[in-house]
Amino acid sequence: MTSHARKILEEALALPKEERLLIAAELHQSVEDSDSPEEIQAAWLDEIAERVQSIADGTAELVDGSDVSRRIRARYGR
């Protein structure tokens, strides 16, 4: 996610629940109707390439799997 997109997300998350739901529905609709399966696959391949590159160039924040599991259990009680 770009820094611009992250900023928009942070601002959206600060909105009341009802407004977030409306925005989420609009965003969902905008991608559901327009993207073919091929476009979706291409977008995922681009995302994967970006993530692999960020790992390779050392800019990714890597988290140990056991830490992720611990956080999930702490958050959801499982």
Q: What is the pLDDT of residues 41-71, one digit of tens each?
A: 999 999 999 999 999 999 999 999 999 999 9
Per-residue pLDDT, 19: 94
CB 23 within 8 A of CB 15: yes
Residues shown for the chain: 78
Per-residue pLDDT, 1: 82
Assigned token pair, 55: 């790992």
Where along the chain do its domains lie? Answer: 3-76
Q: What is the arithmetic mean of pLDDT over 23-27? A: 91
Check pLDDT > 70 for residue 34.
Answer: no
Task: Please state, rounded to an integer, the average pLDDT across all residues of the chain.
Answer: 90
pTM exceeds 0.95, yes or no? no
Give the dihedral sign, CA 57/61/64/69: negative
